Amino acid sequence: MVNSNVLNEDPIHISGISAFQDNYIWLLANNKQAVVVDPGQAEPVARVLAERELELSAILITHHHYDHTGGVKDLLKQWPNAKIYGPSAEPLPASSAMGVSDGDTVLVPELGLEFSVLSVPGHTLGHIAFYEPTGIANQPLLFCGDTLFSGGCGRLFEGTPEQMHQSLTRLAALPDATLVYCTHEYTQSNLAFCHSVEPNNAELKKHLQKIAKLRQQGVPSLPSSIGLEKAINVFLRPHVAGVKARLQAHTGLELDEDIKVFAALRRWKDVF
C-alpha cells in the first residue's frame, strides 16, 4: 500500500513567535523539525524550539534588515547544521547562508516543503518572498517579509513606487486562498488608513471590527489571505474607481494611471 499523504500523519503547524515590539517570527514545524522565517531575535525562537523539542532545519530570510536577521548568528551556534537561505542581492547574516533569487526553489525535505523564491523589490532592493504552492490543506503559503502587510505595504526604504507596485501586483496574482504571513502586527493601524480611503468598503468595515476584537484578546491578526487583501487593502486597489477618486480629491492631482494612485497612497500613508 502506498501512503502518499505523509503530512497528515505528522502535520505541519505554523505559529508566530513574537519578537521586538510587533514582529512575528514564523515557525513551521512538525513533531521533530522546524523552519523559521526572519528570526530577528534568537532567544524567543530557541525557547520555543526547546519547549517543543524541535530541531532547527532551516532559516529563511526575506531581506537584510536587522529585525529580520539579528538572531541568525546565535541560532547557528546552537544549530550549526541549519541551512540558511536569503536574498542573493543583499548582505546575508552568516557566511554559510545561501543566496537565492527569483525563480529559485528552496527545498526543506525534513518538512516536505518546496518554496518558490519571488523577487519583490520595493521595501529593500533585493527583497524576496517565499511561496509554497502546495501549502497545508490545499492553502498555499506566502512569507512576504515587509512587502505586503495586512491592509498595508512596506515603506519604500530603497526601492521606487513602481517597483513596489509591481511586486504587490505579482503577489496579488497568487491564488486567493494563499495564506499571507507578514512580519509585523501593523494590521489595525493599516486598516484605519484603508478605512479613511474607502469609508464605504463594507468588507473592510466588517474586517476592521473582527480584527479589533481579536487584538483586544491579544490574538494575532495574521495570517491574512490574498483574496481578503484584494478586497480590503487599498495598496492592492489603486485601480478601483473609488480609491482613485479619493486620492485625486486628497492630492488635487489628476492621477490617470494606477501607479500614480499607488504612489500617492504610499506618500499619504507615510504621514497618516
Q: How far apart are CA 150 and CA 222, in angstroms?
A: 8
Instruction: Please report, for residues 55, 73, 83, 164, the alpha-carbon distance to residue 80 in angstroms, rounded to integers and kept in the order given.
Output: 11, 10, 8, 35
**Nearer of residues 38 and 229 to Zn ion, judged by Cβ:** 38
> Which 171-230 positions form the footprint of Zn ion (CB under 5 A)?
none
Q: Is 127 annotated as a binding residue?
A: no
DSSP code string of 111-165: GTEEEEEEE--SSSTT-EEEEEEEEETTEEEEE-TTSEETTEE---SSS-HHHHH
**In angstroms, rounded to a whole number, what is the distance separating the alpha carbons of residues 65 and 91?**
10
146 lies in the binding site for Zn ion (CB under 5 A):
yes
Cell readout for 145 is 517579509
The stretch near Zn ion (CB under 5 A) out of 138-146, 234-242, 246-254, 258-266 is 138-146
Alpha carbon distance, N-terminus to C-terminus of the chain: 60
C-alpha 188/C-alpha 221 separation (Å) is: 8
Residue placing its CB nearer to Zn ion in the complex, 157 or 272 = 157
123 assigned binding-site residue: yes
By the rule CB under 5 A, 127 interacts with Zn ion? no
Q: Is 195 annotated as a binding residue?
A: no
Residue 123 CB, shortest distance to Zn ion, in Å, is 6
Site string for Zn ion, 41-70 (x = CB under 5 A): ------------------------x-----
Query: Cβ closer to Zn ion: 38 or 198?
Result: 38
Number of C-beta neighbours around residue 27 at 10 A: 22
Flag whether 146 is marked binding. Answer: yes
Q: Is 90 in the site for Zn ion (CB under 5 A)?
A: no
For the bound state, the minimum distance from the C-beta of residue 201 to Zn ion, rounded and expressed in Å, comes to: 27
Q: Identify which of residues 35 and 144 has a Cβ nearer to Zn ion in the complex.
A: 144
From the CB of 254, what's the least distance to Zn ion, in Å? 33
Residue 146, Cβ neighbours under 10 Å: how many?
A: 26
Q: Does the annotation place 22 within a ligand binding site?
A: no
Return d(Cα 225, Cα 236) in angstroms, integer.
Answer: 13
68 in a labelled binding site: yes
CB-wise, 113 or 129, nearer to Zn ion? 129
Query: Rounded to the nearest whole angstrom, what is the least distance from the CB of residue 65 to Zn ion in the complex?
Result: 4
Rounded to a whole number of angstroms, the minimum distance from the CB of residue 101 to Zn ion is 18
- With CA atoms as reference, report the closest residue to 93 among 116, 70, 110, 77: 70
Of 57 and 190, which CB lies nearer to Zn ion in the complex structure?
A: 190
Beta strands 128-136 and 113-119: pairing type? antiparallel
Helix 187-197 to helix 202-216 angle, to the nearest 10 degrees? 160
Q: Under rule CB under 5 A, how many of the chain's residues touch Zn ion?
A: 2
* Contact set with Zn ion (CB under 5 A): 65, 146
Binding residues for Zn(2+): 63, 65, 67-68, 123, 146, 184
Binding residues: 63, 65, 67-68, 123, 146, 184
